[in-house]
Amino acid sequence: MTTTVDPERELVRRLLPFSAPALAVAAGAGAAIGGAGAAWSAAIGIVVLTLNFVAHAGSMAWAARISPMILMAVGLGGYVVRLAAFTVALLLLDRLDWFSPLAFIAAFAPATIALLAVEMRLLAGRMQADLWYFPEKSWPERTT
């Protein structure tokens, strides 16, 4: 009996430990440049990125077990939902006196780019089609 781990869950397992150091670096840089409000804003940016990453990986792993069509729908629809949630969070946080949208985005954007680069590096050479399993007799045999 072989057990496999969803590639999305494996990414979370491998990358989630880096969220704490990223949060510390972002908060430290925010504090050094803009004070406590910027530190909290940058830290919130990293937390939002981490939650976004975990939600994306979880939803994609779930959808991949159902069907390729659901996987595509969750991939595209989930992107829109998470982008809307990010925008709403930014707009709501901007109402707070101490919140710095600049510090939030200055932490969120480079961390997102770094996360995408690491994801690409970890998945390099592995196509999604390579991860699919097709039983041997899944196609009707031709009789010609």
Per-residue pLDDT tens digits of the chain, which is 144 residues long: 445 677 888 888 888 999 999 999 999 999 999 999 999 999 999 999 999 999 999 999 999 889 889 999 998 999 899 999 999 999 999 999 999 999 999 999 999 999 989 888 877 765 555 555 555 655 556 555
Q: HSE-up of 44 (CA within 13 Å, CB side)?
A: 21
How far apart CA 144 and CA 128 sit, in angstroms, is 33
How far apart CA 13 and CA 85 sit, in angstroms, is 24
What is the model's pTM?
0.79
